[in-house]
Amino acid sequence: MSSLQLIGGVCVCVCVCVCVCVCVCLLWFCRLTEMLSIQELIRKKRDGVALTDEDVRTFIQAVTQKTIQECQTGTNRQTDALLTSLPVSKPPLCSGAMLMAIWQKGMNITETVTLTREMMSSGEVLSWPKEWEGLVVDKHSTGGVGDKVSLVLAPALAACGCKVPMISGRGLAHTGGTLDKLESIPGFNINQSAAQILKILTSVGCCIVGQTERLVPADRVLYALRDATSTVDSLPLITGSIISKKGAESLTALVLDVKFGRAALYKDLDSAKELAQSLVSAGNGLGIRTGAVLSCMDGTIGRCVGNSLEVMESLEALKGRGPDDLMELVTTLGGLLLMMTGLVSDQSEGKKKISDAVIGGAALSKFQAMMEAQGVANETARTLCSAHTKDYSALRRSEHQMELKTSAEGVVQDVDGLVLAEVLHKLGAGRSKAGEPVNHSVGAELLVSVGQRVKKGVSWLRLHYESPAPTPDQIDRLKNALTLGTDARTQQTLVKELLLPHNTI
């Protein structure tokens, strides 16, 4: 090899090394700049300064691109080592610090709407045919005991001419999940792509599905971080989580069932109303006509709690045999949505239209079509939806049943829904953390109602269980959930207040 070739080779090697060093330095500089930018945002929020739209956008983009949480958890060892060597303080808790700052200082409505919009825009946003304009609606509940409203409401709305791309969740702790209930139907597939959702809505008018990985990825990251940093109860973060997912559905109208009471997340009306107002403001800030219903959640909705049992009760409701409290929520929420879309002139007309869709059988037909479109065998769907029979043998039933009897004569004053849900959760009907399986057959049927006079020794609860069997302590808790008295008592309505975009009814 000549001297000239040797020199040329050395020069090439030097150039390559220089280029690599420059690239590494640029990456280092960009990362350092970003981290310093995030630190500045944390400092602003910590000091109570409102974040600008660009500030919020920077934070959400960093979360979605996984540059913040890697720094927090230390999963990126190279980055961790690099930051340690820098002449600045290492920010190992930058994402958690931002969430804690938001938890402490809160966000104004402008910040909250921007947070929600940026979370929504972090992934895929569904789109619909132009002819559906004004008809795409959905509902969200903050969670309750025996809350099977979606299973009746979605097909009823479809029967009234709406398009309902209902993206639902799973149960956690004592609250049940709509997806868990539907998965007790053999073959029901809650995993549908955007194209499949469009196809089902075109042919049926409603679907109930799980959140896809492409929808609102920022929410999945933030939710995990909120759990790790004890900021789950932050009002703006709750608002952003709920409304961003609904915004990604490109809705015309949204109604929120915000519950309060013994078996709800919020125990009193005032705190539930604060959340409802935040959700309504954020929804309308995204251009979605958004209203809320404040409903009491002390007992149970309907008489059945547990996945398979709630599907049975929902089918009974769709056949015109639903309990009054369940149908009160279905018609109130549905009537409000129909009014907000302009399909009816007022809520009373909307409630009647929803009721007629159920009583006339149109909603039941939509539910059957939805089941078939989402993977249920035609024969199974037809049998479950047969209007004149109660053949629910296709649904999983528990191996064991036990009936609890009244210990005295009296008038039923109360049934504690929280106690009932907590015991069923321990028996396998619910999950303690995401990803755990549930036993669809575990549940309970209430055999009495508030205000009913009962004699001593009358069965008031039928418990459905497998393994584990209920312990003596759990049985005692269930027995104590029933309160008897001497005073006459009437069943109270669940709906306490309605919030519309600009006023309260």
Per-residue pLDDT tens, the chain, 505 aa: give them: 555 555 555 454 545 454 544 444 444 434 434 444 778 888 888 889 999 999 999 888 888 876 554 444 333 443 344 334 333 333 334 677 889 999 999 999 999 999 999 999 999 999 999 999 999 999 999 988 999 999 999 999 999 999 999 998 876 666 678 999 999 999 999 999 999 999 999 999 999 999 888 899 999 888 878 877 888 889 999 999 999 999 999 999 999 999 999 988 899 999 999 999 999 999 999 999 999 999 999 999 999 999 999 999 999 999 999 999 999 999 999 999 999 999 999 999 999 999 999 999 999 999 999 999 999 999 999 999 998 878 899 998 899 999 999 999 999 999 999 999 999 999 988 776 667 788 899 999 999 999 999 999 999 999 999 988 999 999 999 999 999 999 888 888 999 999 998 644 4
Residue in the structure block whose two tokens are 């931002």: 98
C-alpha span between 332 and 231 (Å, rounded): 32
CATH topology of domain 130-391: Pyrimidine Nucleoside Phosphorylase; Chain A, domain 2 (3.40.1030)
Q: Which of 95, 92, 98 is CA-nearest to residue 43?
A: 98
DSSP letters for 249-275: TT-SEEEEEEEESTTSSB-SHHHHHHH
Q: Is 439 helix (H, G, I), strand (E, B) or coil?
A: coil
Check the CA dihedral 318-320-322-324 and report its sign. positive
On whether the CB atoms of residues 109 and 225 are closer than 8 A, the answer is: no
294: left (phi over 0), alpha (psi -120 to 50) or beta: beta
**Boundaries of CATH 3.90.1170.30 in the chain?**
400-485
**What is the total residue count of the chain?**
505
Name residues whose C-beta falls within 8 Å of residue 15's C-beta, 6 or more positions apart in sequence.
Answer: none
Q: Phi/psi of residue 311, each to 5°?
A: -65, -45
pLDDT at 190: 96
**C-alpha pair distances (Å), 142 with each of 129, 293, 431, 441:** 30, 11, 17, 24
Neighbours of 473 (CB within 10 A): 9
Assigned token pair, 299: 């007992």
pLDDT at 77: 43
Helices and strands, number each (H, E), in the chain: 19, 13
Name residues whose C-beta falls within 8 Å of residue 321's C-beta, 6 or more positions apart in sequence.
Answer: none
C-alpha span between 156 and 357 (Å, rounded): 6
Name residues whose C-beta falls within 8 Å of residue 446's C-beta, 6 or more positions apart in sequence.
Answer: 300, 303, 304, 415, 460, 461
Q: Is 241 noted as a catalytic residue in this protein?
A: yes
**Boundaries of CATH 3.40.1030.10 in the chain?**
130-391
Q: Which of 121, 150, 168, 241 is catalytic?
A: 241
pLDDT at 66: 64
Identity of the amino acid at 68: I
User: CB-based burial of residue 456 (10 Å sphere; 0-12 exposed, 13-18 middle, 19+ buried)?
Assistant: exposed
Q: What CATH code is assigned to 400-485?
A: 3.90.1170.30
Q: Which of 139, 170, 174, 245 is catalytic?
A: 245
Q: Which of 117, 139, 170, 226 is catalytic?
A: 226
Q: Is 245 noted as a catalytic residue in this protein?
A: yes
C-alpha span between 115 and 27 (Å, rounded): 27
Identity of the amino acid at 303: R
Q: Which of 45, 117, 140, 351 is catalytic?
A: 140
Packing angle between helix 149-159 and helix 307-316, nearest 10 degrees? 40
Q: Is 449 noted as a catalytic residue in this protein?
A: no
Chain-centre distance of CA 398, in angstroms?
27
C-alpha span between 265 and 418 (Å, rounded): 11
C-alpha span between 306 and 464 (Å, rounded): 9
Q: Phi/psi of residue 257, each to 5°?
A: -100, 95
Q: Which of 55, 138, 180, 219 is catalytic?
A: 219
Strand locations in 297-432 (E): 304-305, 400-405, 410-415
On whether the CB atoms of residues 144 and 301 are closer than 8 A, the answer is: yes
3-state helix vs strand vs coil in the chain, percent to 5: 50, 15, 35
Q: Is 413 helix (H, G, I), strand (E, B) or coil?
A: strand
Q: Is 299 helix (H, G, I), strand (E, B) or coil?
A: coil
Q: Is 464 noted as a catalytic residue in this protein?
A: no
Q: Is 356 noted as a catalytic residue in this protein?
A: no
Pairing of strands 453-454, 482-485: unpaired
188: left (phi over 0), alpha (psi -120 to 50) or beta: beta
On whether the CB atoms of residues 313 and 444 are closer than 8 A, the answer is: no
Question: What 3 state SS string does 452-496 have?
Answer: CEECCCCEEEEEEECCCCCCHHHHHHHHHHEEEECCCCCCCCCEE
Q: Which of 322, 328, 307 is CA-nearest to residue 442?
A: 307
